[in-house]
Amino acid sequence: METLRHECRDPQAIRDRLAPLIAEILDLSLRSPQSPSREVLARELESLIRTAYQKDPEGLAKTLRPLISPAIGQEIAENREKMVDTLYPILGGMITRYVSHAIRDLLETINRKIEDRFSTAAFKRKIKAKLTGVSESELLLEESLQTRILSIFIIHKESGLLIAESNWGDTEIEDPHMVASMASAIKDFINDWIQNTQEVSEVQLVSYGNASLYIESAGSVYLIAFLNQEPDSEEREAIRNFFADLLREYAEFFQRFDGDSSAPQIPEIETRINRFIQESNETVQSTVDPNATARETHGKHFALFAGVAALIVLVFWGAYRFERAHTLDELTRTVSMRTHETVHLSYHDGAVVAEGTLLDPRHRNAIIQIIQNRLHLPIRDQMHVSAETWSKLLKSLKALQIETQNGITAQKRQLQKDAQRSHEFQEAWTEQTRKLQHALETSRHTQQQLRQELQTLQHRFENLQWHIRLPRTIRSALQSTFGNDPGFHPEDGSLDIFDPQLLQSGDPRPNPKALAHIKKKIEKYITILLRFIPDPELLDRIEIVGYTDSRGDPVKNRQLSLQRAQAIRDALLDLPIIRKHRLSSKLIAVGEGGRDPIIIEGRERPELSRRIRIGFRLTPVASDIPSHKGK
């Protein structure tokens, strides 16, 4: 009681006590169809739900979902027909579209198989239809509904090395590592091509006849699934999810893969791939005739072969398309680089169509030439020039015309100036040439004079040398004749003529007989002398020197000797050589007295001291000496 009293004072305790009772009363009230509470609650509830939906629609849906879903499920179970009638207007359209799409896909697959009537599979199908009694159409339908994964490869993206692989049943790909590398190369090739064409980012599905390769690429690896036909969106989704799971778990291993096939992760990955293949194919297998499995196993190799063949065909086709597209791209770039024009090129009916608006009409021929040089195809010229460009060109032309005229005028003026300068220069040139010619003539004259003077000088020099050498030459000649004569003096070429009969003591007259004798000797001496003296002017004198003995008065002796010399000179004047060469004036008589007595063995020999000496003197050499030649 005390407790009850205490709880009556506590509002929370009162709420706790009353709540179960109110819930029960409310429940009973709401269960009765005639209950006014039910109407009130329905009205309030509608208002509350609308308000809640406006404030937080997602929160409301989340709250109601656990209640509504079982309710709908129960409603469908209890009143199926009614529910279908209710939902059909909403779902009917969607279902119709889905079914139509599925049937269209199915029909396309069947049509492809019917068109492939000459294949091995088609023949097998015909035989099986005959043997089993099942129509070929049913068999076709059956085949068309099955998709099988034959193999899955996980390949390292950068190196193309196979990391892991697994096959369905007894399907085996010969040398999978080489196949993986080659597939990687082909994939790279196709990707390179499609990236060039900029149509799609990466190849994902390669399909031909009964074989398809489905490629999923992510991170550092990609997956290739070999299938017997194109996978539908669900099958693709399944493969993609499986690949994503693998990536999540083994991303680091894939990234660090270095070609080592002994890594412990590889068997794990292969087990998972194998399980995925089995699970995927078992779903299909359960709905199919068991005999089909054996048949398909035989067809796997063919499918794989067909897949690779399809790949090759695709590659050839791709290469052809790439080459064509690449050529046009290259040509477009070349045109742009050389002409700065943007032209669109395309193939149409075996011709190259060139379209675009030209910035400069003069580039048209250059562009056509560039295309013709590369492609030997007809060219459809659909290039045009905008009115604006024409207008600009006309303006440029006018400006160019004005500029050209101005240029011509300026050029004319310049030419006139140049002509005037040229005339002046020509005159100056003529004057200068004339001066130079005059100077040249003067120079030639001077040169001639100098040459003559030089010749004269040379001549004089030769004469001088001859003159200098002349006394020695004459002395040599005289020595060769009189060298053995005791009276010959080699130092000056004079000759003492000793004859005891010629001169008597104190007598100035020479003995006539002896005179005749010495005249011959003197004549011989003069003859030798003149042999070397072509011009008498060169000869200063021929001296006839008289001597006495040393006895007696020296003055008288000198006079006596002079008389004797004069007497002999006079006797020589009638010599033919003297007359012929007119040498009389050159004959000079000199008296030396007894100055040079002849002493032999310490005693004078007076008969030898009384003697005549003949000698010569040449004219001293002067600068203007006459030449010894030409006379």
Partner 1 sequence: MIRKKILLLGDFHVGKTSLIRRYVDNAFSDDYLTTIGVKISKKQITLHDREYELLIWDIEGATPTKKIPTHYFAGAAGAIVVGDLTREETLTSLPEHLQSFHSVNRGKPWVFAYNKVDLLPVEQRKRLQLPEWSFATSAKEDLNVDTLFTTLLERIVS
Which residue lies nearer to partner 1 by CB, 24 or 323? 323
Which residue lies nearer to partner 1 by CB, 319 or 464? 319
Work out whether 202 is an interface residue with partner 1 (CB under 8 A): no
Shortest Å distance, C-beta 76 to partner 1? 57
Q: Candidates 60-68, 314-322, 344-352, 621-629 — which segment interacts with partner 1 by CB under 8 A?
A: 314-322
Residue 331 contacts residue 371 (beta carbons within 8 Å): yes
- Using CB under 8 A as the binding rule, the residues of this chain from 331 to 390 that contact partner 1 are none
Which residue lies nearer to partner 1 by CB, 177 or 524? 177
Q: Candidates 175-183, 203-211, 438-446, 515-523 — which segment interacts with partner 1 by CB under 8 A?
A: 175-183
Work out whether 265 is an interface residue with partner 1 (CB under 8 A): no
- Supply the angle between the helices 233-256 and 265-285 in degrees, to the nearest 10: 170
Work out whether 189 is an interface residue with partner 1 (CB under 8 A): yes
Shortest Å distance, C-beta 341 to partner 1? 25
Shortest Å distance, C-beta 150 to partner 1? 20
Q: Where would I find the beta strands (DSSP E) of 502-584?
A: 539-546
Among 37, 96, 135, 261, binds partner 1 (CB under 8 A): 261
**Nearest Cα to Cα of residue 366 among 397, 337, 398, 346:** 337
Shortest Å distance, C-beta 353 to partner 1? 23
Token code pair at residue 566: 């004069």
Shortest Å distance, C-beta 258 to partner 1? 8
How many angstroms separate the CA atoms of 189 and 319, rounded?
9
Shortest Å distance, C-beta 198 to partner 1? 16
Among 42, 103, 178, 377, binds partner 1 (CB under 8 A): 178
3 state SS of 356: strand
Work out whether 19 is an interface residue with partner 1 (CB under 8 A): no
Residue 591 contacts residue 546 (beta carbons within 8 Å): yes
Among 159, 274, 463, 619, binds partner 1 (CB under 8 A): 159
Work out whether 192 is an interface residue with partner 1 (CB under 8 A): yes
Work out whether 550 is an interface residue with partner 1 (CB under 8 A): no
**Nearest Cα to Cα of residue 168 among 270, 89, 28:** 270
User: 259 vs 162, 270, 310, CA distance in Å?
Assistant: 8, 16, 29
How many angstroms separate the CA atoms of 550 and 547, rounded?
9
Query: Which position has the token pair 């009772």?
Result: 21
How many Cβ atoms sit within 10 Å of the Cβ of residue 49?
12
How many angstroms separate the CA atoms of 561 and 546, rounded?
5
Which residue lies nearer to partner 1 by CB, 266 or 590? 266
Sequence letter at residue 296: E
Q: Candidates 311-319, 392-400, 479-487, 594-602 — which segment interacts with partner 1 by CB under 8 A?
A: 311-319
Which residue lies nearer to partner 1 by CB, 186 or 612? 186
Size of the site for partner 1 (CB under 8 A): 26
DSSP 188-235: HHHHHHHHHHTS-SS--EEEETTEEEEEEEETTEEEEEEESS---HHH
Which residue lies nearer to partner 1 by CB, 219 or 471? 219
- Which secondary-structure segment (H or E) carries 618? strand 612-618
Work out whether 514 is an interface residue with partner 1 (CB under 8 A): no
Q: What's the chain's Rg over C-alpha atoms? A: 75
How many angstroms separate the CA atoms of 500 and 504, rounded?
8
Work out whether 160 is an interface residue with partner 1 (CB under 8 A): yes
How many angstroms separate the CA atoms of 67 and 452, rounded?
149
Shortest Å distance, C-beta 382 to partner 1? 28
3 state SS of 348: strand
Work out whether 186 is an interface residue with partner 1 (CB under 8 A): yes
Q: Candidates 77-85, 182-190, 205-213, 480-488 — which segment interacts with partner 1 by CB under 8 A?
A: 182-190
| DSSP code, position 354 | E
How many angstroms separate the CA atoms of 298 and 183, rounded?
23
Which residue lies nearer to partner 1 by CB, 311 or 352? 311
Residue 569 contacts residue 561 (beta carbons within 8 Å): no
Rounded (10°) CA dihedral 334, 337, 341, 342:
60
How many angstroms separate the CA atoms of 497 and 546, rounded?
10
Which residue lies nearer to partner 1 by CB, 184 or 609? 184
Work out whether 329 is an interface residue with partner 1 (CB under 8 A): no
Among 141, 288, 319, 366, binds partner 1 (CB under 8 A): 319
Work out whether 264 is an interface residue with partner 1 (CB under 8 A): no
Among 24, 105, 188, 403, binds partner 1 (CB under 8 A): 188
- Which secondary-structure segment (H or E) carries 590? strand 587-591
Shortest Å distance, C-beta 319 to partner 1? 6
Work out whether 260 is an interface residue with partner 1 (CB under 8 A): yes
Binding site for partner 1 (CB under 8 A): 156-162, 175, 177-178, 181-182, 185-186, 188-189, 192, 258-262, 312, 315-316, 319
